[in-house]
A and B are shown apart, each in its own frame.
Chain A
Amino acid sequence: MAVDTFHYDNKVVRNFGIASMTFGIVGFLVGLIIALKLIYPDFLGFIPELSYGRLRPLHTNAVIFAFAGNAIFYGVYYSLPRLCKAPMWSPILSNVHFWGWQAIILSAVLTLPFGITTSKEYAELEWPIDIAITLVWVIFGVNMIMTILKRREKHLYVAIWFYIATFVTVAVLHVVNSFEMPATLFKSYSLYAGVQDALVQWWYGHNAVAFFLTTPFLGIMYYFIPKAANRPIFSYRLSIVHFWSLIFIYIWAGPHHLLYTSLPGWAQALGTVFSLMLIAPSWGGMLNGLLTLRGAWDKVREDPVLKFLVVGVTAYGMVTFEGPMLSIANVNAIAHYSDYIIGHVHNGALLWNGGLTFAMLYYITPRIYKTELYSVKLANIHFWFATMGAIFYVIPMYWGGITQSLMWKQFTADGFLQYPNFLETVVQIIPMYALRAFGGSLFIVGALFGVYNIAKTAMSGKLNADEKAQAPALIDPTDGHEEKWHRKLEGRPLKFTLLVVVAILIGGIVEYMPTALIDSNIPTIESVKPYTPLEVAGRDIYIAEGCNNCHSQMIRPFRSETERYGEYSKAGEFVYDHPFLWGSKRTGPDLHRIGGKYPDSWHLRHMYDPNSTSPGSIMPAYTWLLKKETDVESIPNKINALRTVGVPYAEGYDDIAIRDFKAQAEQIADGLKENGFGEVEGIKITSDKEIIALIAYLQRLGIDIKGNNDPFEGLPSNARMGANIKEN
């Protein structure tokens, strides 16, 4: 049997490493900026592109898809060829993947700050970019699967299973959650509405955490901990149970993001039960990682790679304990919508994803540059900055989150809300926001030390771009004796992949199909009507400005919420909401029943200067809404697109929608003028301004169930619209 000689491509590995570090620093800095904006709302002035609502999605997308994403590919492109004893199948695809992924990141930078967003969390990018993501992801998958098929090691090591699960599941999640109807080049409407959209979104959102931030990093853990500790994984058998139970159970857990919402109760219950079960595989994996270090703990004292790995896996253990606990309904009732969740995710993001990423950078860089790490001491300093930074970030968020949540729920002895003014509960936790910004800064300083150290290391060596390796054509691990069941399966990548697909599809199908198909799950409410064209435009402005990043539209059935906001939200109220806008955190109050609560002039003043109506508010001013004109021309296209996804606008309504739009806008502008708000500090408030559309939308929110008012009444098309809705 001849020995093959081949070369590993270290150049693409290096490129992904540089991209991960670069975008990591950018993503962290954007995070720091928005953290500072919660303390100093006028920080950086009121520039639309730098407002909190637009930058927060940029932060989350940058750290998830640019920092962690590139880190995943960094780890996969390094470990997969070495485990397969074969170079990546196609260097061209490797490069197309690399540059394609960076182009997608660039497109996020060029769209999100400009208000081009779908509003669905971690899936904000608009439809043309969604298509590009799909293509690039398939390129990655083809390259990976082909490498596996051309391997020289018959057996697939556990890390590869996790990579396979990552590829297939993210593909399914991304495609299903991105079904949307384009209205214009940069605007689309989700195919799903309200409750169904929420269910699909959080099936996606939760499993983006599971299959983008967890499974690939578990693969990385299974490769790099044994490498760094120079001993095999504690229990290979445990890893088999870990893998199958984790991927099967994870996919069911999404509804725990929607407890106490309008989602049907049975779906919520499934989410809770599967989330609780999830603790078993998660901790199985964590213990498997940590116990690998048995007898090697002395190395942890010396080696920064192991330090980052150990703290990363420990944080994973903490987060995966917290997750199931937060999924218990009565714990969720306190933690949900609060900053506790922000603390929870950063515990995972900073230490688990961040820790493993920096461990890889410190491990791989000296090896591919054939040199020593520039400074072990500096890496250790980085380690402490990262750890302390995370602690200073996470604990204040826990503290502040619970404090605020309890204040929301506090009643006086007489049965009134103790803190009826939402703002009081915000002001209370601003010191915690300040501590969080301090913690984040520590983490960034540490990361900068890391980047410097890695750069110096690279400069002290020379990239071994094509690393020579040798292996026999195909090593048969069975050595003649018969294989059984799982062992056999581990040598058959296509069958293995197929089984993974089956395991991950079941949960999603069982939860989604009945919600979509059985009418009684979403009881319709007759008085709920579609939005008028002006309200549609206003809703799009709400989405573009990212209002949903701080305001929920989902009143849970608690007395503390119905007292504060009004009647709790019903599933049938959201049937025309493409996409749903329930939100996931309340930095500001819920807005589902804001309609009719204040006069139009209040909203005008509030958007122009939040402090004028709400002294001490940390909401940024949206002065540009008073100056910018609403996009009228796209209204017919939007009406058409919405009709396609199921909103019952009459055929041909798109032709007269602009007339309705203008008539309603005139009514609002006239009303403002009559009350002395025809002008605000020299700015004329005319009917074509964005603020008018936004006011129309806000005043419509949550009022449909209060009576049989017709939103189209008094508009030119009234008769035609009314007839059509009755038909439906």
Chain B
Amino acid sequence: MYKDVLRTMEGIEIFPSISLILFFGFFILLIVYLIRTGKHHWDDVANLPLESDETINQKFTQS
């Protein structure tokens, strides 16, 4: 049954090309986005593992 479905799809050969472009596009956009956000945009999250109880409390009292 599945075989017939695949065979009857029109223009199925273009599907792999579309997928390739989609995924290539995704990674290009991701990189452009990351470059545009800049390094320091991520400083706080990069420091998440380093937070001890004291720094959390500090953050809390600041906000």
Contact = CB atoms under 8 A, between A and B. Distances in A.
Interface string B23-41: 1001100110111010101
Given A479-B63, A517-B2, A232 B47 contact: yes
Interface in B1-33: 2-3, 6, 16, 19, 23, 26-27, 30-31, 33
Contacts of B34: 237, 240-241, 486
A158 to B, nearest CB: 8
A3 B34 CA distance: 34
A470 B57 CA distance: 8
Given A471-B56, A486-B30, A518-B3, A223 B23 contact: no
A99 interface: no
A43 B49 CA distance: 49
Q: Is the interface of B mostly helix, strand, loop or mixed?
A: helix
Interface residues of A, number: 44
Contacts of B50: 226-227, 230-232
A705 B61 CA distance: 79
B56 A223 contact: no
B42 to A, nearest CB: 4
A624 interface: no
Given A236-B42, A475-B56, A487-B37, A506 B48 contact: no
Instruction: Pick from B6, B49, B53, B60 the residue with the most CB of A within 10 Å.
Output: B49
A155 B48 contact: yes
Contact of B48 (A157, A244, A248, A510): A157
B56 A470 contact: yes
A226 B50 CA distance: 7
Contact of A79 (B16, B27, B49, B57): B49
A435 to B, nearest CB: 40
A157 B60 contact: no
Nearest to A490: B45
A240 B6 contact: no
B42 A248 contact: no
Nearest to A235: B39
A244 B30 contact: yes
A245 B27 CA distance: 8
A471 B49 CA distance: 14
A716 B26 CA distance: 63
A472 interface: yes
Contact of A83 (B33, B37, B48): B48
Nearest to B42: A236
A227 to B, nearest CB: 6
A244 B46 CA distance: 17
A83 B49 contact: yes
Interface in A513-561: 513, 517-519
Interface in A1-39: 1, 3
A235 B42 CA distance: 9
A231 B43 CA distance: 11
A240 B35 CA distance: 12
Contacts of A222: 49
B42 A470 contact: no
A379 interface: no
A232 B49 CA distance: 8
Interface of B: 2-3, 6, 16, 19, 23, 26-27, 30-31, 33-35, 37, 39, 41-50, 53, 56-57, 59-60, 63
Interface of A: 1, 3, 79, 82-83, 85, 153, 155, 157, 159, 222-223, 226-227, 230-233, 235-237, 240-241, 244-245, 248, 469-472, 475, 477, 479, 484-487, 490, 506, 510, 513, 517-519
Given A157-B48, A479-B63, 17 more contacts: A1-B63, A83-B49, A155-B48, A226-B49, A232-B50, A236-B42, A241-B27, A241-B31, A248-B23, A470-B57, A471-B53, A472-B60, A477-B44, A477-B45, A484-B33, A510-B19, A517-B2
